Amino acid sequence: MIMASKTNVLYLLLPSFISIYLLEKEKIMANSYTDVPEIKFHMEHPLMKRIVELKERNYADYGQYDYAPKDYEDAQENYDSLLEITGDINANIIGPNSEDVDAEGPHCENGRVRYASKTYENLDATIKAGLCGMTMPRRYGGLNLPNVVYTAANEIIAEGDAGFENIWSLQDCIETLYEFGDEDQRKRYIPRVCAGETMSMDLTEPDAGSDLQSVMLKATFDEKENCWRLNGVKRFITNGDADIHLVLARSVEGTRDGRGLSMFIYDKRNGGVDVRRIENKLGIHGSPTCELVYKNAKAELCGSEKLGLIKYVMGLMNGARLGIASQSVGAEQAAYEEAINYARDRKQFGKEIINFPAVYDMIARIKAKLDAGRSLLYMTARYVDIYKALDDISKERKLTPEERDEFKKYSKLADAFTPLAKGMNSEFANESAYDSIQVHGGSGFMLEYKCQRVYRDARIMSIYEGTTQLQTVAAIRYITSGFYANVIKDYEAEPVAAEYESYAVRIKDMADKLAYCTNKAKEANNQDFLDLCSRKLYEMTAYTIMCHLLLQDTQRAPELFGKSLVVFMNYAESEVAKHFNYVLKLDVDQLPSYVQE
């Protein structure tokens, strides 16, 4: 019963030795949220008050749920603590596990996925922390977070491990089920996702990648069992062995286009879908990319038949694109941290390499793109939040005429900004990961350094959920219709402090160049010519908008963004001038020279 008293004596005598041991062993705890004050800045944007008011229905849940906020300040405090917990988990669990997850990867065993062992640790942490069902209403067990906050958590986790972020963030497929499923489906599935079950969206097939209209997975109605049955193959399905799947399938026999496609819910508990193989990929190794075989799998229709692609997948994709935009910003943050930390430590020619202009130029550009891209990301998320909250409210009551106008305005802004945020940030992630390796020199080419993983992981970001080329397609109509031009005009009308006026003048010049090129592309009256110009116009638009956003941010927080404004303006202006010159010289007569037979 008594602990050896002699041992007690020993410990009485030796406390300081033990303290010294502990001192050497323990390191200061990092936090991926509190260490990056730019994220918190975006949580406190003036539009947030309106977003939270809508999302919280004027704080009607307060008193009904013990974790619901009572007012705006209370909600902000909650968001802050949630992101602080996310930052803690990322810095101390997900990030440190990422190298092992990357090396081990998932495996396919008897038709099932076995994740890398540390992926289970990551999942356990996110589930125990309750980072599930983030945006879902409380009545289903969700956290009722605005998209902006979910986006921030997403970015934070992607910084630690973009592959794990895929598995975790697929929970946002539940938004589509919430939006289009019936109440019975909501009650059955949403609480499961809020408790940590994973999701997947099964869209692509061997012959249906970017062209989803060609989806052939067959859905037939089983009269006897009164359910749908799925048969066929899906390919490149991220987290394909998830608990709950949203599946795009052809329910109208004999059709060949998007109008014969419907959305189905497949519940893994029912069985019928096996994983045939897991792809061997360049990056995001932690995320299992699966080939799935559906053998008479029982499924239920989500929403109405034939609206699968036309309506639901479009909604699903817009959410997924915002998700990839935030994943990309996370990768940019990782590239920045790896580059600057290495450059601060590494000495050549007698000093740390961060002191050389050739090196700090690269790091400054990584940071400038990160700050500008992040600003675009969160502005998009805010637009999404307002229209989605109003859309949700419209199911409970009739919107007032003012609210209807607000809904229209923000849903269009969200639709226009999503392809900009996804395309630009995914390209930035690649460029910055490339530069991050360059800062490392030869070491960056070695697998021991994280920068090479960021580089490999980033490569898919400009491809999946719609390539940058498809983001351009989604954006071009807003360019030719003058929608972005009007947004830019609105931004130009924002007040600018005297010391920043020169920036406003420079941005105006960028907008003028964009207008000139847009007119030239339109006036040629040739679709191929317009398509050929579209990427240039798209980037010119995005740079002009990002400069405006960064200028607004800098005026509110010069200590955070002052340097990036200078660097990004120089960079963006030169990019816009480059594209301007290109379009200036481009002529319809040159088109044949672009076509390689």
Partner 1 sequence: MSLKIIVLAKQVPDTRNVGPDAMTPEGTVNRAALPAVFNPEDLNALEQALRLKDANPGSTITMLTMGLPKAAEVLKEGIFRGADEGVLISDRPLGGADTLATSYTLAQAIKKIGDYDIIICGRQAIDGDTAQVGPQVAEKLGLTQITYTEEIISLDKDAKKIVAKRHIDGGVETVEGPLPIVVTVNGSAAPCRVRNVKRVWANKNREFPVWGAADIDADPAQIGKAGSPTNVKAVKNIVFKAKENKTLTSSDEDINSLIVELMESNTIG
Chain residues that interact with partner 1, rule: CB under 8 A: 1-4, 6-20, 22-23, 26, 28, 66-69, 77-78, 81-82, 85, 88-89, 93, 125, 128-131, 143
| Residues 390, 395, 400, 401, CA torsion sign | positive
Shortest distance (Å) from residue 282 CB to partner 1: 32
Contacts by 483-489 with C-beta closer than 8 Å and gap 24+? 483/412, 483/416, 484/416, 484/541, 484/545, 485/511, 485/514, 485/515, 485/518, 487/413, 487/416, 487/545, 488/514, 488/544, 488/545, 488/548
d(CA 201, CA 240): 8
| Residues 40, 46, 47, 53, CA torsion sign | positive
| Residues 252, 302, 378, 567, CA torsion sign | negative
Query: For partner 1, which is the closer residue by CB, 75 or 335?
Result: 75
Query: For partner 1, which is the closer residue by CB, 18 or 584?
Result: 18
Contacts of 291 (CB under 8 A, 6+ apart): 233, 234, 235, 236, 237, 240, 275, 276, 277, 278, 279
Shortest distance (Å) from residue 346 CB to partner 1: 26
Shortest distance (Å) from residue 94 CB to partner 1: 11
Shortest distance (Å) from residue 22 CB to partner 1: 6
Query: For partner 1, which is the closer residue by CB, 124 or 587?
Result: 124
- Check residue 242 and report its DSSP letter: -
Shortest distance (Å) from residue 316 CB to partner 1: 25
Shortest distance (Å) from residue 4 CB to partner 1: 5
Shortest distance (Å) from residue 66 CB to partner 1: 4
Count of C-beta atoms within a 10 Å radius of residue 397? 8
Q: Which neighbouring-strand residues pair with 348?
A: 351
Query: For partner 1, which is the closer residue by CB, 191 or 482?
Result: 191
Query: For partner 1, which is the closer residue by CB, 159 or 435?
Result: 159
Instruction: Name the H helices within 5-116.
Output: 5-13, 15-25, 37-43, 48-55, 72-89, 95-104
Query: For partner 1, which is the closer residue by CB, 8 or 519?
Result: 8
Shortest distance (Å) from residue 47 CB to partner 1: 23
d(CA 273, CA 279): 17
- Check residue 585 and report its DSSP letter: H
Query: For partner 1, which is the closer residue by CB, 85 or 290?
Result: 85
Shortest distance (Å) from residue 186 CB to partner 1: 20
* Residue 77 three-state SS: helix
Query: For partner 1, which is the closer residue by CB, 108 or 125?
Result: 125
Query: For partner 1, which is the closer residue by CB, 30 or 524?
Result: 30
d(CA 441, CA 447): 13
- Check residue 93 and report its DSSP letter: I
